[in-house]
């Protein structure tokens, strides 16, 4: 297994696990704790009606999926083409670290402006590094 695939495996585990904080948040809401006073078990699971950290957990999961799909596609293309170098290894490792930091920071509320967008854009740069390695090969 290439280092790039190893990092994508860990990123896939993270993406496959980020539903847990959201589900825990929904299932630990006491009746009548939603902002509109309704019982969370008797109303639709609208993320906008959740407690702030639960909303952020939902958004963190979606946000990871937005960047994971293009990165995974590019890593698989690079793997099929036999492209692996220091830049692609570095980019995939940093990508995982950024996505982990983004998820933790978003759920806890620590990563606020401008840190959260900086982390997101840095992940996008990692995607561009892998894409560049493919296009320049």
Q: Model confidence over 66-109: pLDDT tens digits?
A: 999 999 999 999 999 999 999 999 999 999 999 999 999 999 99
Q: What is the pLDDT of residue 47?
A: 66
Q: How confident is the model at residue 111 (pLDDT cuts 50, 70, 90)?
A: confident
19-26: long-range contacts, CB 8 A cutoff, minimum separation 24: 19/61, 21/53, 21/54, 21/57, 21/60, 21/107, 22/47, 22/54, 22/57, 22/58, 22/61, 25/50, 25/51, 25/53, 25/54, 25/57, 26/50, 26/54
CATH class of the 3-27+50-136 domain in this structure:
mainly alpha
Average per-residue pLDDT for the chain? 89
Q: What is the pLDDT of residue 25?
A: 85
Mean pLDDT of 96-124: 93
User: Would you place residue 35 in the very low, low, confident or very high pLDDT band (cuts 50, 70, 90)?
Assistant: low
Query: What is the pLDDT at residue 65?
Result: 95
pTM over 0.75: yes
């Amino acid at each position: 297994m290439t280092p790039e695939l190893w990092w994508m495996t860990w990123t896939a585990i993270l993406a496959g696990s980020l539903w847990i904080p959201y589900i825990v948040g929904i299932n630990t809401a006491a009746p009548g704790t939603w902002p509109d006073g309704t019982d969370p078990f008797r109303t639709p699971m609208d993320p906008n009606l959740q407690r702030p950290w639960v909303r952020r957990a939902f958004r963190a999961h979606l946000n990871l999926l937005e960047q994971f799909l293009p990165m995974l596609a590019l890593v698989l293309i690079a793997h099929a083409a036999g492209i692996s170098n220091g830049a692609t290894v570095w980019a995939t490792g940093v990508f995982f670290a950024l996505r982990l930091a983004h998820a933790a920071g978003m759920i806890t509320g620590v990563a606020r402006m401008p840190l959260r967008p900086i982390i997101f854009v840095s992940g996008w740069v990692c995607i561009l590094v892998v894409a560049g390695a493919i296009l320049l090969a």
